[in-house]
Amino acid sequence: MSNEAIHDELGRVRVGLRFSGGKEVHFKIIGMHCATCSLTVQRALMSVDGVLSASVSMASDEAVVIVDLTRFEYSKALRAVQRAGYDIYRESVTLTLRSLEPEEANTVTRALCIPGVFNVVVNPVNHSVMITYNPLETSDNELRAIIESAGFRVINVAKADAGDFDVDRKAVETDLRDIRNRLIVAAPLTALIFALEALSIARLIPDALYAVLSFALATPVQFYSGMRFVRGAVRAFRNATANMDTLVALGTLSAYIFSVLVLLHVLSGEVFFDSSAAIITFILIGRYLETRLKLKVSSTMRELTRLYPRNARVIMNGVETEVPINEVRAGDLVVVKEGEVIPVDGYVDSGEGYVDESVMTGEPSPRRKGVNDLVLAGTILTRGYLRIRTTRSGEYAFIAQLIRQARQAQSLRIPIQSLVDKVASYLTWFVMGTGAATFIAWYLIGAPIYVAVLHMASVLVIACPCALGLATPISVVAGTNNALKHGILIRESRAIEISPRIKAIALDKTGTLTRGRFGVISVVGDGKALYYAAIAEKGSDHPIARAIIEKAKEVYEEIPSADSYDTIPGMGIVAQWNGLTIGVGNDRLVKGFEARASPEIEKEVRKYVSDGYTAVYVIMNNEVLGAVILGDSIRPEAPMVINELRRMGITPIMVTGDNAETANMVARKLGIDYVYAGLMPYDKANIIKELSTKFGVVAMVGDGINDAVALKTADIGIAMGAGTDIAKSAGDVVLLSNDLTSILSFIKLSRRILNNIKFNILYAFMYNAVLIPIAAGAVPSLTIRPEWAGLAMALSSITVTLNALRLRRSRV
């Protein structure tokens, strides 16, 4: 065979690899722009455990991955791609369930452990399940079907961009209506049973008649009002678990069925239909109160959703036209009148007014907004009139992102919760075993069978895994809502749990410890120098000019415009006004005017310049009037925050990319002993690692792109609200108010959340440890009837919820 024929034959050969048990998975990759990118993503995917092979195409932005499903985790693949600097396209959906007990969270998570799901966050407080998934493998309809096949009823499906942010409230209100309807039936019928019992005890009606009438009244209570517990028990049984509904259903049905058998003379003893009806009624009352309290827990979240804009008034062809918010595009001119909610993110094109940003930042005083100032959707124009040039609207607006992240924050699961959930699931089986053992023990010692049933029902009903399961999530929801009210968005659960253990806190300088922009620090020489400098600079858009004009407006009512002005590159500006020649610039401009500053002015200027500040001379008719000193001023609250951190036992440290001279000057003023200057982004991350080795738990506070890596490296990353989107996405905590005192608020509030959780868990354990033996009759001369056991169970959940509600009023 010729070489050409061999070559043709080899060209038709296809070599493939077959993996037994392997599954082909497709991902859409975001951010690739060259062949090197595709190779980087491929290497990142190959580093994930369970990935057998990976092929990435830049042309289609797609990765084809062969995985071993027994070892592969979608969340790890996502993190690997993100660490490499890229992302995987994914979608999110929130399923709202008719009912969801805390101890059922693991059941939902296990059911959704399917190919294509990156993350599942279950929130039993508002009955929601947030799922992040790969749309190339699964869909929201399939996810809904999986949940419903597990026995849960889905009442709402909301995609991440649907705009219906208030489904949490609707879910709780739906549950509240269901409980109320069942309670309307149960309460009067149970009251009648107790009235008949009193008549029977007084011998006003025969016992037989009481037994028949109480059966008739208790039956609708058991099989209508109590059906939500029976359904919950059946759902748990189908998923091979047990929960509070299981205990209530077993307790009430055992009392009811035993009483029916006594009524039919199959067994001897007393009927206690009153117990089964009262248990259901008391627990429904408890659930009703508990659910009402849950509505209060998320009050801050609902304040945000009420401010989410639905429409905007857009200027089209010179006419104001009201359109749905999703139809507003970048560049559109939107009109906002006094008292209205601003519907879009953008910059003021014309007009001025005062904007209330308190709901998002926690700052009570309205801020003045004028031309070129940034305004955000969801804030309120309390006074004035604005025309806003739109930059973002609808689902992309800041308030929409904030609501989404706040909802995710409410569903945070701190590590301790996994342990508590496991204990709560075991507790249910332990209680059922204890109930069975109680019945057998009383029966074996010769007690009447109805006594054995009575004690067994009390044991089953009095135990409350619900309070234990609710202990952590209800405190997290209340605490994160309070944090949001104070302008703090907690995005990661670990931040709450480890913040009390912070030993050192690294702070960026520019934009964090300082304002991050030029400001007037002082005026040297003639006090009118600032006024004349503002006149000359009024026509300029230079950062120094803006700082001078802003300061001058605080001092003088009106700044006149110069008659003419000329900019001299590298030197400054020369203006004519009312026959006067005004020069504003550096020492080269002074020399150009052949002017000289007095020794006093020169001495003061040199002192400021040596501290890293910028001096701008003001020259009037060839005479140096004075100088305006500018610099990146330290935030006014920074000294107090640094001192308070030190008092709390936390070491403040400065990490900055700025030069050592300027960094040390700021550090001296703030009393910071540890300074790391001249750092590149990855240098900052390495410093954070060193600090972790030296101090222990380290937090990082920053605002810029160059802080993002360090924020991720730190045990807790805290991003300033006015920082870049990259920094905010890297932060575990975002300070929306851009106020450093929020750092102290976050640490204090985290401690209170943890203390609240610990109290709830301790209370739930003590409650069960003390009352289960009493209900079983193990304490001589002390016992609890099933109906009072049901009341105690209801009160235990209410107590946990009320304790969590204290976090709403907690001042930080």
Catalytic site positions: 508
Report helix, strand or coil for 539.
Answer: coil
| Token pair belonging to 156 | 């709402």
Q: Side chain identity at 75, as an amino acid letter? A: S
Measured on CA atoms in the order 287, 293, 298, 302, is the torsion positive or negative?
positive
| DSSP single-letter state for residue 222 | I
Q: For residue 474, how many other CB atoms are within 10 A of its CB?
A: 29
Phi, psi of 45 (to 5 degrees): -70, -40
Q: For residue 408, how many other CB atoms are within 10 A of its CB?
A: 21
Axis crossing angle, helix 207-220 with helix 244-263, rounded to the nearest 10: 150
- Are 90 and 135 a contacting pair, CB within 8 Å? yes
- Compute the residue count for the chain: 812
CA separation for the pair 438, 422 (Å, rounded): 24
CA separation for the pair 353, 181 (Å, rounded): 49
Report helix, strand or coil for 341.
Answer: strand
| DSSP single-letter state for residue 153 | P
| Token pair belonging to 273 | 């239909």
Chain-centroid distance, C-alpha 538:
43
Strands (E) located in 446-491: 488-490
Report helix, strand or coil for 425.
Answer: helix
Strand partners, 342: none
| Token pair belonging to 143 | 């996810």
Smallest Cα–Cα separation from 730: which of 684, 674, 679? 684
Paired sense of beta strands 22-30 and 87-88, if any = antiparallel
Collect contacts of 57-62 with beta carbons under 8 A, ≥24 apart: 58/32, 58/33, 58/34, 61/28, 61/29, 61/30, 61/32, 62/26, 62/27, 62/28, 62/29
CA separation for the pair 628, 523 (Å, rounded): 5
Residues 6+ apart with CB under 8 A from 622: 581, 593, 594, 595
DSSP H helix total and E strand total for the chain:
28, 28
Q: Side chain identity at 111, as an amino acid letter? A: A
Residues 6+ apart with CB under 8 A from 285: 183, 187, 794
Residues 6+ apart with CB under 8 A from 511: 702, 703, 704, 720, 722, 723
Q: What would you measure as the largest C-alpha separation in the chain, in angstroms? A: 120
Q: What is the CA radius of gyration of the chain?
A: 34
| Token pair belonging to 798 | 């209410």
CA separation for the pair 190, 193 (Å, rounded): 5
